[in-house]
Amino acid sequence: MQLSLDLPMCAVVSDEFTAEQAAAIGRREERLIVTANAGSGKTRVLTERFVRSCIDDGIDPSAILAITFTEKAAGELRERVRSRFVELGRRDLAQATEAAWVSTIHGFCMRVLKANAVTAGLDPAFEVLDEGDARALRAAAFERALAAWLGVEDAVAVSSGTAALHLGVRALDWGEGDEVLTSPFSFVASANCLLYEHARPVFVDVEEETLDLDPAAAAAAVGERTVGLLPVHIFGYPAAMPALEELATRHGLGILEDACEALGAVDSEGRKVGARGNLATFAFYANKQMTTGEGGMIVPRDGDEAARLRSERNQGRAVDMGWLDHDRLGFNYRLSDLAAALGVAQVEKLDSLLTRRAAVARMYEERLAGIEGLRTPVPGSGSEVRSWFVYTVRLPQGADRDATIARLAERGIASKAYLPCIHLFPNLRELGYREGQFPVAEAASAESLALPFFPAMSEAQVDRVCQELAAALGQAPLPA
């Protein structure tokens, strides 16, 4: 049976559309064909005329982000479908329509758009519409773009770097009674993601120069309960992954790379961080190398793992399941379609963003060389290349960091102590950690100062920061 209904429909289109095209679609009133499948008890919304009208107007339907209805139109359509089911004696379908129509209509439209594009003779480039979620179209485009940039098979978009880490811990089945070796010199999410699953973070010290996890210290800390390694590529510097992987192989340990600060870094073997075949996570908060406002990505090891990650980010619903069907524990870790659209645009200019950040870092290094006792971050060594996330210096021995921050603030320059050692946070002290256990990490934490850093920073701005830092430390003005 088919019911033909005339109702207004609007399309949310991408920024690739012209304003005129968007306006034309917004004004259009389309006929919707509603087909009820009595055997399965599901209602599908077909949008063939809409697809054909796009073709007639020279618009590629594969660029459509989502199809949605006004609340009034959705309610009218739901009631007319429900009434028709009552007339046909199918009160079961009428009740299901009344209960579920509004929540399902968005996903149905997106799934069926793919089928109708094929019917219209197109080869649609939006395979992910089977996820039944409108945001999946842009999320998948973002996933494909970043995976291609990294040189990996797949990547799974999520709502934050923390969400990516949490799903990674679950994918490795780390949990109650397990111990995972990780860095105390990190943002707290790299420990929290373990605590979420009742695994224990076992901190080990870091290397003096890179501030990344020290492989020798990690090797010495392996115990009977150790199940994995969670190295953090801190401040964008690649961790010693070959040595850590050798350690993991020797002891049968899993690896989850926290690359949330290291998009674009290159390791000692010339590979992009995140492309070594381990689970690896990235983050796109506003201060990262590229941003989606908030967001994250996790690189899976294989297709089965990717499917699990996509299910768990979406409340435990597999890609081929209905709107309200769930077969595992999951979370609301989906990336919004707006954030994903930003991500696609950011990947397109990621190389230039990284180049510009590196240029600002070089300006800092050149100017700060004149400050006695100040240690600047190493840009790389051999094949290793830092991806510049922040620009953090280590103050001269004996310098008063708090006073330095205050003096810079008086001159209108923001700076920050960065980072605190997370093993000294109150909830982690409860696990038995205390001052003095990790001297390299604690020294770096006590001396580090983050300076203003962003891609558009000019040479004059860098020079002003450096001059004011020299003055705050009581040193002579730097040469012009």
Tokens 């205050």 — which residue?
406
Residue 439 lies in a domain: yes
The total of structural domains in the chain comes to 3
Give me the half-sphere count of Cα atoms (radius 13 Å) on the Cβ side of residue 29.
5
Query: Based on the domain organization, do 339 and 455 belong to the same domain?
Result: no
Amino acid, single-letter form, for residue 341: A
Query: Based on the domain organization, do 98 and 9 belong to the same domain?
Result: yes
- What CATH number should be reported for the domain holding residue 402? 3.90.1150.10
Query: What's residue 123's pLDDT?
Result: 41
State which residues form the domain around 160.
Answer: 136-348
Query: Based on the domain organization, do 242 and 389 belong to the same domain?
Result: no
Of the residues 348, 366, 383, which one is the last residue of a structural domain? 348
Could you tell me the two tokens for 418? 């960065």
Query: What's residue 322's pLDDT?
Result: 57
Phi first, then psi: what are they for 182, rounded to 5°? -155, 180
Query: Based on the domain organization, do 335 and 278 belong to the same domain?
Result: yes
User: How far is it between the farthest Cα atoms of the chain?
Assistant: 90
Burial class (CB in 10 A: 0-12, 13-18, 19+), 177: exposed
Entry pTM: 0.74
Find the helix or strand (DSSP H, E) in which 195 lies: helix 189-196
- What CATH number should be reported for the domain holding residue 312? 3.40.640.10
Query: What's residue 92's pLDDT?
Result: 60
Query: Based on the domain organization, do 338 and 358 belong to the same domain?
Result: no
Query: Based on the domain organization, do 376 and 258 belong to the same domain?
Result: no
Tell me the C-alpha distance between 369 and 53, whole Å.
64
Of the residues 125, 147, 180, which one is the last residue of a structural domain? 125
Residue 434 lies in a domain: yes
Is residue 390 within 8 A of residue 418, CB to CB? The reply is yes
Tell me the C-alpha distance between 134 and 331, whole Å.
18
Low-confidence ranges of the chain (pLDDT < 50): 1-55, 59-74, 97-134
Query: Based on the domain organization, do 200 and 316 belong to the same domain?
Result: yes
Of the residues 125, 152, 182, which one is the last residue of a structural domain? 125
Smallest CA-to-CA distance from 330 within 317, 343, 320 is with: 317
Tell me the C-alpha distance between 310 and 131, whole Å.
9
Query: Based on the domain organization, do 200 and 273 belong to the same domain?
Result: yes
Query: Based on the domain organization, do 309 and 355 belong to the same domain?
Result: no
How far, in Å, are 171, 319, 348 from residue 313 at the CA level? 12, 11, 25
Q: Show which residues are catalytic.
A: 288
Give me the half-sphere count of Cα atoms (radius 13 Å) on the Cβ side of residue 106.
15
Q: Where are the beta strands (DSSP E) in 168-291?
A: 179-182, 200-203, 226-230, 254-258, 279-283
Query: Based on the domain organization, do 299 and 155 belong to the same domain?
Result: yes
Query: Based on the domain organization, do 152 and 77 belong to the same domain?
Result: no
Query: What's residue 364's pLDDT?
Result: 98
Query: Based on the domain organization, do 370 and 458 belong to the same domain?
Result: yes
How far, in Å, are 44, 450, 455, 461 from residue 340 at the CA level? 27, 29, 21, 32
Tokens 């990650």 — which residue?
309
Tell me the C-alpha distance between 238 and 379, whole Å.
11
Smallest CA-to-CA distance from 159 within 129, 139, 145 is with: 139
Residue 480 lies in a domain: no
CB atoms within 10 A of CB 151: 10
